[in-house]
Amino acid sequence: MKLNLLIIILLLFSCCYAKENALGIEIVNDAEDYVGKSLVTKFRETIRASNGYSIEYQNDVPHFKVIITTMDRFKGTTESEGYSTIYSYIIIFSSTYSELYITSGMGYTGTNSLDTTAYSIFSVLDESVDILKKILKE
């Protein structure tokens, strides 16, 4: 296990200091509702706006994968349906040979707070990358 972690950290180091200095992020969209799809879009826009990350990645190059799954919070309730979503996300470090679970979270959000929620998922991703970089330096 320690050897696998060391290999993954070395791969992270190599991909973080590539030419562009932008770490590739794979976004897996498992949103089933309109608000959830909008949340994934906002998260994608947050990644695009950052200097340190890119939504462009190659499967054979180590990268982070963020899986976002959603469903309507009030599915089946006609008067409340379509205004908020329940979401979960999983952050994984992915390389050619293996994947390493990093963290996950869940919650609910409405149409008025999609920007804040997308940014909070981005913040967890960014903190996870920083932690792995600190481990690498030690």
CATH number of 130's domain: 3.40.50.10610
pLDDT in the model for residue 136: 67
If one counts the domains in the chain, the total is 1
Written as six digits, the tokens of 26 are: 């794979």
Range of the domain at 77: 2-137
Cβ(101)–Cβ(82) under 8 Å? no
Digits of tens for pLDDT over the chain (138 positions)? Answer: 555 555 555 555 555 544 457 888 999 999 999 999 999 999 999 999 999 999 888 888 888 999 999 999 988 777 778 899 999 999 998 888 888 899 999 999 999 999 999 999 999 999 999 888 787 676
Query: What is the structure's pLDDT at 77?
Result: 79
Q: Which helix (H) or strand (E) holds 27?
A: strand 23-31
